[in-house]
Structure 1
Amino acid sequence: MIPREATMTESEIPSGKNTRMSQADGAAPTASTATAKEPEPGQIFYAAANWKGDGAGAGVIRLPAAGLTIPIAGSRKPDEPAASANPEELLLAAVAACFVNTWAIFLKKLQVAYPEPAIRLDGSLGKDPAGGYRMTGAVIHALVPASLLEKDRARVEKTLQLSEKYCIITKVARAAMPVRVEIEAV
């Protein structure tokens, strides 16, 4: 059951850029202030979506616990400008967010000095034999300083292997499509 605060009326649907609802101190968490917790078995997460119009319309995704409202739109061609996210981008964003967070955890546990890990994620869309379209694969590009790879490549690779194994959302994505990780020196 979706809690009442997770629903929105049409007048609450924003247009344009992502909106962050105010926190007690008015500041959004940053990488240095956010804290990661182990998920608990049986833990429930909430998201709500509202849509206005037909398939060419627009809507919002609301994440009540995070206080986020994200404008959404239907699928579009990659070269089309966008003022909102589409479902394919949100899927990739979920994988990216979980993977980079999991990677940061293993970098710390294995004492690899890379305090601000970064990734880029590419996803491909293709025809589904059952009809329509589907995401057909994704590549996570782990962006690693060349100097760190020269000094500690084996441990960097180990942290990425552990991240692949333990990232919750990557596991979900892998059930539907191939997901691979590549190291990219920067």
Structure 2
Amino acid sequence: MLRSLLLCLALITAPAFAAKKADDGSQIQPDNYYPRVKLETSMGDIVIELDRRKAPITVNNFLRYVDKRSYEETIFHRVVPGFVVQGGGYTVDFDEKPSYPEIYNESGNGLKNSLYSVAMARQNDPHTATRQFFFNLDDNDSLDPGRNWGYTVFGAVVEGYEVVDAMGEVETEYKALLGFADAPVEPIILHKATVLPEL
């Protein structure tokens, strides 16, 4: 009788435990320390390799947005030649996309804001990154941590360097209505982001 009761309880509670499976990005290729993501943009394709070993929180967060297809049809809204190309936060109509909670700043992980690295954008507070990211167009030492928090690097471009270079050379303008100082005149659209199969 007791055995039957325990078995029934196990069967009833099993789905509840299954429903609590992680949904924070850690479940995506969980044993792969260096997942790759393909970004299909209006200017060409870019492949980035993420570094989960050094920036696990940031990589899992980024993968969650990719997995939910939340980066699709967003724009790179900020281009500063020789500095950064930033995107991931706005639709083509400049509507802000919803975000998951802010994440912990992992800028002290040893990765540098070097040419073609990928890092998280944030507000002045160090722990305010959510979904926006940027490509470094140069070795931007000023974005690395020192006496103050830096900007978390979590990966690097491994294919499509020429696409990133071309992005950094587009004509920009000030959009007064939105307060964007370095917005591309011709929108650069991120059509699709896909986690590639493990190597």
Q: Which range, TM-score by smaller chain?
A: under 0.3
Q: Which has the higher helix share?
A: 1
Q: Computing the radius of gyration over CA atoms, which structure comes out larger, 1 or 2?
A: 2
Please give the TM-score of this superposition, normalised by the length of structure 2.
0.20
Please give the TM-score of this superposition, normalised by the length of structure 1.
0.21
